Structure 1
Amino acid sequence: MCEGHFPEALRGYLLAKYREEPFPYQFTEQDLYEHIRQDIQDYKAGRLDVTAPSPWRRTYSEMSLVLAWMLR
């Protein structure tokens, strides 16, 4: 990742991941900063798959989080 260049795939990944609050929790500014910083470091190191999940996979993931929260 060059100085001044932000890869479009990473940008889309971050927007999709952090667009909404993770039900039932809320992000603080510090949470967002740290999570995004770590995602960027992982991307630079080649440890982050920025492929956009299918709508089905995204819905499944969100429902899994909701069910886990409900079953606590």
Structure 2
Amino acid sequence: MDSNPESTDEPEGAREAAGLSLAFGGFDTRDGRSAVLMAGCPAAQLWEAMRNDRMPQYFEEHRTGDTLGADVDRT
């Protein structure tokens, strides 16, 4: 993808995209494959926001900060 801000190669909405993290629920094996599970209640709130097109409100209500924190290796 071109890094030029005037580029039209970006998918529509790409500039509005936001990252999010989900609450960790545990590890499991499903159909012989490793799986990382989400915590049920926080994930339910996320899926509800997605179904009802309320992601901006979800991000506003669940904002935890915009930084990785001091214990993350940034190299």
Higher strand share: 2
Q: Which has the larger radius of gyration?
A: 2
TM bucket, shorter chain = under 0.3
The structure whose RCO (Cα within 8 Å, separation 6+) is larger is: 1
TM-score (norm 2): 0.27
Higher helix share: 1
